[in-house]
Amino acid sequence: MPAAASTWTNIATTLSSCASELDKVCTGRLAGQESLAVATFKTLQAGSASHLRMTSEVAGAISGGLTVASMIVRMVHDLVRDAIA
């Protein structure tokens, strides 16, 4: 389970990085360009970046949940092992 939690942490980090990169494209590379198409593209990509950040937060929460579940499983395992011994 700790490995699964680590995987979800990596997913969260990557999604957050992708969202930041998407923001850089919209605010940096397209900063001087103005047209209806560019404005629409910027709006669409800002929404995509927002969704990526939200998904990153969900992945982080999954990682946290798996970490807690892993600790609970370990505690129950140790209690049962000690009770049997």
Asked whether the CA dihedral 70, 10, 22, 48 is positive or negative, the reply is negative
CA atoms of 64 and 38, how far apart (whole Å): 39
Q: What letter represents residue 37's amino acid?
A: A
What pLDDT was estimated at residue 25?
A: 87
Has residue 12 got a pLDDT over 90? yes
Q: Band the pLDDT of 31: cuts 50, 70, 90.
A: confident
CA distances in angstroms from 80 to 68, 69, 70, 72, listed in the order given: 18, 16, 15, 12
Q: Give pTM, 2 decimals.
A: 0.79
Mean pLDDT of the chain: 93
